[in-house]
Structure 1
Amino acid sequence: MRPYDMGVLFDECADRGSATRVRLDRPFDIAPDEKVDYGVGELAVLVAEVSGWLAAVGAGAGDRVAVLKPNHWDYDLIACAAVRLGAVPAQLSAHLPPESLAELLRRLKPAVLVTTAEHAALGADFASRVITLDTPEPGAIHVDRLRGHRPPPPRRPGEHEPLVINHTSGTTGTPKLVVHSTSTAVRKLAGLESVRLPAIGVRRDDTLANASSYAHGRTFCWTANVFCRAPARIVILSGQHPDAVDVLLRRYPPTYVEALPAAFVRFRPLLSRLDNPFRDVRVFLSSHDAMHPPVVRDYLHASRRRRPLWIQSWGQVETGPITFRLLTRKSLAVRWDRHPPTRDLGRPIPIRTRLKVVDPATFEPVPRGRPGLALTRTPARCLGYVGENQRWQEKHDAGWWNTGDIAVHRRDGRVLLLDREVDTTLGLSCLELEDVLEDRLPGVLECVVLAMPGKDPLPVVVTDTGRVDAAEWTGAVHDLPDLQPPRVLTWDEIPRTGTGKVRRLALLTMLTGCADTPGTGRWT
């Protein structure tokens, strides 16, 4: 089965006899009970019920339905309910700063906002109608008043019409609102993954665990493809505290894990526990951000499988995956290397994507092996940005999409990622330095290297204690380019996006009082 109509996805899977069970770490925010175990048919009923709520407040074909709530997979169920009406869901992370949320809602002008009391007042300024899921609020409609409304018949989406809106991560400022269609998000992105591939494909006996930011476009496509492959069980993790997920993961040990890089970092202490819940994993998949070698290495060695694999992909909300590579224990075996293996992103996806690297000033192609601005050509490119059409127009030219990343396209076809253009510094890669530092400082949770114009880069070391051993630091940087003295912070002191990415400009401003960077930032 290949996905197409997200409004009736679960109905179609149920009709085909799918036996997949979904286990949650906490109840859905949209459900009136404490239920944490669902079959596919029950999910279809829940989506239809939510569609009835939205219809009851007047949402219809072409309307935008914004969703802004605590992180959970019911983001995608609400989105499917909106699609069922012919409306266009817009998923907004509650981790965004208030000023960013206000700007995104201003651009969207949604007919309906589904939210919680925390954001009801903000929504009232921009949305025609506001539905609250937790407590009644003045000017909003509480969800209990809408339960029981009969949904209208499903409306099949047009192939090339707007289907869903998701925002970019916002690491360098206000996120963009990215519009995808059924053709790009479902046919091209989810459809590609729904193919049953040997070794890395999802099997019917798999237990999948997903720990993601469910407001992000990645999980919308994941929902489309994974239910078509009908694994035995899906475990949904909405939080990242290791103790909170430990019991559920040990009860349902996963064989296939997809998680945010930040989630993999936070779950790392579980690997050393006696009943390691990742012992049976055959495939790990990370998305949204760069992974550093020590984390990947630890998970691969924690699996008792003979040849566990780590799928590393590089892409953007606007394009979906551009390249992919499979990492193994052997490929991660070398330590202390100044050129860590996770910077090698593999090759462009065959047949589907093309890549070229150009000079950032002239846009003339550069020879293989030299750094430049990475451009890609893919049939999955988004339709545009809401409220920023000029910005979108500037980022593509004759079918090529400007990723805003500085990379090297090597002679063997592999892609080596260096930095975002806004962070680029002549003669070095901040991402590479982060990899090296994390490999050489095993006690740290994360290292962030911030580029600064006219100054040495500023390293930020994240530890549990907010301290780092001075002798270990000196040994780690002895052969690296000149760096400023490290700033040491704890995990919670780092400003992050909903996907756990470091908000680099916010962190730079917090530490230095200035947000100037060496790059132009023109293509962020």
Structure 2
Amino acid sequence: MLPVADLGLLPEGVAEHHGGTTVCADTPWASACRTPNTVSDFAVVVADYADRLWGAGVRPGAVVALVKANHFDIQAIQCALVRIGALPALLSVKMEPADLLHCLKELDRPCLLTDADGAAVLRPWQDQLGEIVSRVLTLTPEAVLPGAVELSESAPHQVTRHLGTDPMLITHSSGTTGKPKLLVHTVDSLYAHVAPQIGVVKSLDYAGISAKCLSFVHVRMSSGLLTLLNTGVPFLGISSPDLAPVRAALLRYRPESLEAQPNMFLRWEALARETPNPFSAVERYISSFDAMHPRTLRTLLEASERPNPTFIQAYGQTETGPVTLLMTTRADVREPGRLDSRDVGAAFPGMEIRVVDDAGAEVAADASGYIEVRTPARAESMIGRPPLPGRDAWWPMRDVGRLRPDGHLELYDRQVDQVPGVPSTLRAEDILLDELPELGEVVVIAVAGAVTAVAVTADGKPIDDDRWQRARSRAELPEDTGVDYRPWEDFPLTGTMKVRRHRLVTPGTPG
């Protein structure tokens, strides 16, 4: 029987059953012993990383912070660390340096494993590293930091098997509303992430490649890897969300399934108008971070040349894993009224949702309030924080929404991002994007008590005022709502490309 949720053992076990299944990345594996193209190759790379980590003195119980360029090799290194009994802490190289240093300090002198990109981010603080980390290991010789040792010498490693309650992985929240939180996942909690995903995949008729362009340090990718290995779905990891590499990867591999973060899909709308069409072979799109803008749903579903393409959305957090599931078809987005919905679907079996008021009392059916969930997939603990309540306790998602009579959840706002006088900033943004196709992004915030839409346009030019006012009125924004036009590069983003709204408070300046 395969070890369903043990990241250290699963690659080797799966290689014995369907080792020829495609597992690859769109860019080179800079530090791997070979370029994997199959599950068998991936298992060999995991074992080689394990030998080199063992040769460098990494032993069971060690906490190893991984800070490197975004690439699918992060998942192989993670598996290798778990395999030898170490505890990987996956940190985004896109994190703001102050937040990255904060996370390293929270880990209490971990071993740091990095590459050239990670070293470049940390180099301005290299004099502090000796006090923050126990040692520095590098994956490539270009990663120059004081006292760094390249991961090159090999020694046969010893395999560690994990029990269900053993910590297996540390990941971090996105930091959308503040400093990222470090979350510890056990075998059991990660399995609870994976179980519903395995069920969904097995219910679908997968044949072609499943491509994912994600932050590969996110727990979503770890659970995604477990799902792919357990179901035997061919896989492609796309490293960069930029238009050129995404276009090249999609045209080369023609994936049947494509998963990305919502703001990636938003930016990829431009690709849907190209010839040749990069999305022509996509039968299902997948996103599991935030609700998707309906314009993006419609654009990508219309771009597919498959007869019945589907957009699969899940709502959840790093702390909880996916909680709800919604499948949207091309026919759905053509229905009148569908474009105004913030529907994120119904709860997975075994997971519960409720909506409460300020006092924590459940609100009347169909009323809005604060979303809480109860799920066996909730993280075990947070580094540097008090013990978390048991998994039978209700968990606050810090989001505002309503639970409809049909069991579907509608998402309105993050609690901290609510704007006085605006029922739902997210719904308002949906309408603005649909009414004004030239908008590349728009974020509604409160600045000094006034409602402001921070916007970027495709051509960099402001929108005609009459058209803006008509769209603003339909979005139910106040008449005096201001517009602050900025280039896309000035939007402060997390590693998962969420906009850090609290950093957009000063009009006309970067966050």
Fold match by TM threshold 0.5:
yes
- Stretch moving more, 85-94 or 283-292: 283-292
Which residue is 2:199 aligned to? 195
- Do the aligned partners of residues 168 and 43 (structure 1) sit closer, same or farther apart at CA in structure 2, a change above 3 Å counting? same
Cα deviation, 1:445-476, whole Å, max 9, x if unaligned, reads 111111357x2321111223332222321221
1:14-33 counterparts in 2 under 5 A? 14-31=15-32
Q: Which amino acid aligns with 1:216?
A: H
Which residue is 1:91 aligned to? 90
Q: Distance in 2 between matches of 1:437 and 1:497?
A: 23
Q: Which amino acid aligns with 2:340?
A: P
Using the size of structure 1 for normalisation, the TM-score is: 0.90
Q: Distance in 2 between matches of 1:457 and 1:511?
A: 14
The size of the alignment, in residue pairs, is: 498
RMSD: 2.3
Cα deviation, 1:347-405, whole Å, max 9, x if unaligned, reads 1112x111111112x11111011111111111111111101226x45xx7961111111
Contact 1:339 1:432 in 2 (8 A): no
1:452-491 counterparts in 2 under 5 A? 452=447, 455-470=449-464, 471-479=466-474, 480-482=476-478, 484-491=481-488
User: How far did 1:264 drift?
Assistant: 1.4
Contact 2:18 2:232 in 1 (8 A): no
Which residue is 1:409 aligned to? 403
| Unaligned runs of at least 5 residues, structure 2 | none
Which residue is 2:260 aligned to? 259
Question: The residue matched to 1:61 in structure 2 has which SS?
Answer: coil
Q: Which amino acid aligns with 1:227?
A: L
Corresponding position: 1:325 with 2:331: no
Contact 1:180 1:382 in 2 (8 A): yes
Which residue is 2:377 aligned to? 380
- Do the aligned partners of residues 170 and 202 (structure 1) sit closer, same or farther apart at CA in structure 2, a change above 3 Å counting? farther
Corresponding position: 1:431 with 2:426: yes
Which residue is 1:178 aligned to? 183
- Do the aligned partners of residues 512 and 248 (structure 1) sit closer, same or farther apart at CA in structure 2, a change above 3 Å counting? closer
Corresponding position: 1:158 with 2:158: no
Contact 2:108 2:132 in 1 (8 A): yes
Which residue is 2:146 aligned to? 139
Q: Which amino acid aligns with 1:152?
A: H
Which residue is 1:126 aligned to? 132
Q: Distance in 2 between matches of 1:110 and 1:215?
A: 20
Contact 1:372 1:407 in 2 (8 A): yes
Q: Which amino acid aligns with 1:5?
A: D
Q: Distance in 2 between matches of 1:109 and 1:464?
A: 45
Using the size of structure 2 for normalisation, the TM-score is: 0.92
1:444 to 431, 439, 442: 439
Q: Distance in 2 between matches of 1:510 and 1:333?
A: 36
1:35-46 counterparts in 2 under 5 A? 35=35, 37-46=36-45
Q: Which amino acid aligns with 1:170?
A: G
- Do the aligned partners of residues 124 and 220 (structure 1) sit closer, same or farther apart at CA in structure 2, a change above 3 Å counting? farther
1:353 to 335, 351, 371: 351
User: How far did 1:136 drift?
Assistant: 5.1
**Identical residues among aligned pairs (%):** 33
Q: Which amino acid aligns with 1:461?
A: A
Q: Distance in 2 between matches of 1:386 and 1:198?
A: 35
Contact 2:198 2:231 in 1 (8 A): yes
Contact 1:213 1:499 in 2 (8 A): yes
- Do the aligned partners of residues 368 and 456 (structure 1) sit closer, same or farther apart at CA in structure 2, a change above 3 Å counting? farther
Cα deviation, 1:81-131, whole Å, max 9, x if unaligned, reads 110111111000011111101111000124311113212626444111111
Which residue is 2:279 aligned to? 278
- Do the aligned partners of residues 155 and 397 (structure 1) sit closer, same or farther apart at CA in structure 2, a change above 3 Å counting? closer
- Stretch moving more, 274-283 or 16-25: 16-25
1:496 to 490, 493, 496: 493
Q: Distance in 2 between matches of 1:127 and 1:228?
A: 35
Which residue is 2:114 aligned to? 115
User: How far did 1:271 drift?
Assistant: 1.5
Q: Distance in 2 between matches of 1:221 and 1:363?
A: 31
- Do the aligned partners of residues 170 and 397 (structure 1) sit closer, same or farther apart at CA in structure 2, a change above 3 Å counting? same
- Do the aligned partners of residues 278 and 424 (structure 1) sit closer, same or farther apart at CA in structure 2, a change above 3 Å counting? same
Q: Distance in 1 between matches of 2:33 and 2:13?
A: 25
Which residue is 1:418 aligned to? 412
Q: Distance in 2 between matches of 1:278 and 1:495?
A: 28
Q: Distance in 2 between matches of 1:92 and 1:437?
A: 34
Corresponding position: 1:66 with 2:65: yes
Q: Distance in 1 between matches of 2:23 and 2:434?
A: 36
User: How far did 1:239 drift?
Assistant: 0.5
Contact 2:23 2:42 in 1 (8 A): no
User: How far did 1:32 drift?
Assistant: 5.9
Corresponding position: 1:399 with 2:389: no
User: How far did 1:192 drift?
Assistant: 2.4
Q: Which amino acid aligns with 1:45?
A: V
Q: Which amino acid aligns with 1:176?
A: K
Question: The residue matched to 1:486 in structure 2 has which SS?
Answer: strand
User: How far did 1:490 drift?
Assistant: 1.8
1:190-229 counterparts in 2 under 5 A? 190-195=194-199, 197=201, 201=204, 203=206, 205-229=207-231
